[in-house]
Amino acid sequence: MTESQLIGASKEDIDTPALLLDLDILDGNIARMAALAADTGIALRPHVKTHKSPLIAHRQLAAGAAGVCCAKVSEAEVMVAGGILDVLVTTPVVAPEKIRRLISLARQATVGVVADDLRNVRNLSEAARAEKTTLDLLVEIDVGQHRCGVAPGPAAADLADEIARLPGLRLRGFQGYHGALQQVVDLDRRSADIRQALDLLLESANVARRRGHAIEVLTGGGTGSSATDIGFHGLTELQPGSYVFMDCNYSRIHWGPDGALVLFGNAISIWTSVVSCTSADRIVVDAGWKSASCDSGVPILKAIDGATFSFAGDEHGKLSVPEGTRIAAGDKVELVPSHCDTTVNLYDRYVCVRNGKVEALWPVAARGKTQ
Ligand SMILES: Cc1ncc(COP(=O)(O)O)c(C=O)c1O
């Protein structure tokens, strides 16, 4: 079947392995996050590292997002080329060649970047000044993740002082992101930890404001902290990524004090075929490590209760199904990935489905854009 013949075909006819995207669930997730943030005064700046697709970013903007976050300059280049004209790069950009590309983007769109290093800030200023452009700068603050970021409080304000002083830069505010808290399962625990991280960001903003800086942007947060961050009203911008697709790890977290699950639906899945079934305990599918990421565990099978998946090689996976399950070579099954971001990056395109029919093929345009 050619690519164009695929449009309108039934899901059963899609060759495997393939990355399916359920458009109804996608649109529902985008609408739900937009509704959470609506009328709160907190802007949504979704992180496109999850989907790497300008087409999906446009849907998020149409639902009210103020701009997008990108993890890397190359991802931002794909977004700007795709017509997304307000991007924040949420990882420091340090190499001279990347700084040059970032500045070139800043001439085409509103571009911001985070920084946590004085020399880096000076290099960014120099490059922006040489190209007669202005770059938005946000100080990245370590709010507990202990990855990138300057210490909260006076150290953050010191870097803000420098940025405000240097030509070619516009100090916009602070970023504080704590990824490790996003998937804390218990809502009360997660909320308490997020409050602590947010307080570090707010305290830093207060120090900088007392020094006369207009700290307009406080950006951070993700899917797991979204409802809590919005409730606390400390951030000016929220950066959720995974909510568009979700994955089985994220689906475990509680959204209500009573342990309520699933605020967002699983929009992507891996469509895979049984290629060998020589005995009841040898059910082999054509999806292995090259079709599903394994950094966060194994995918979960949709539709067959009690069945499990295990990796059995680069191109192979094994299913274990309850006794009596009817399954044979040629059958197709759907897996929910354990981590959406790293799984998406394994595919060239989304096969977009609605009500069991293929509606569109969308490229994963920023696939492999890790620079
Ligand atoms: C800086 C930053 N912001 C936001 C996100 C989005 O987080 P999530 O996918 O948990 O919504 C990420 C994800 O890694 C991130 O690194």
337 lines ligand 1 (CB under 6 A): no
Identify the pLDDT of residue 287.
98
* pLDDT per residue as tens digits for the range 94-152: 999 999 999 999 999 999 999 999 999 999 999 999 999 999 999 999 999 999 999 99
182 lines ligand 1 (CB under 6 A): yes
- Rounded mean pLDDT, 299-317: 96
In this prediction, residue 262 has a pLDDT band, given cuts at 50, 70 and 90, of: confident
| Measured CA angle at 349 (ends 345, 354), to 5 deg | 120
How far is ligand 1, taken at its centre, from the CA of residue 171, in Å? Answer: 22
Identify the pLDDT of residue 209.
98
Q: Is the pLDDT of residue 298 over 90?
A: yes
Residue with CA nearest ligand 1 atom 7: 222
* pLDDT per residue as tens digits for the range 239-261: 999 999 999 999 899 988 777 77
Identify the pLDDT of residue 2.
85
Query: In terms of DSSP bridges, do strands 169-176 and 217-220 run parallel, antiparallel, or are they unpaired?
Result: parallel
172 lines ligand 1 (CB under 6 A): no
211-220, 259-268, 326-335: lowest mean pLDDT where? 259-268
- The answer to whether the CB of 75 falls within 8 A of the CB of 366 is yes
What is residue 327's three-state secondary structure? coil
CA distance to 181, 208, 268, 319, per residue, from 302 (Å): 27, 50, 11, 12
223 lines ligand 1 (CB under 6 A): yes
In this prediction, residue 182 has a pLDDT band, given cuts at 50, 70 and 90, of: very high
How far is ligand 1, taken at its centre, from the CA of residue 220, in Å? Answer: 8
47 lines ligand 1 (CB under 6 A): yes
Identify the pLDDT of residue 347.
98
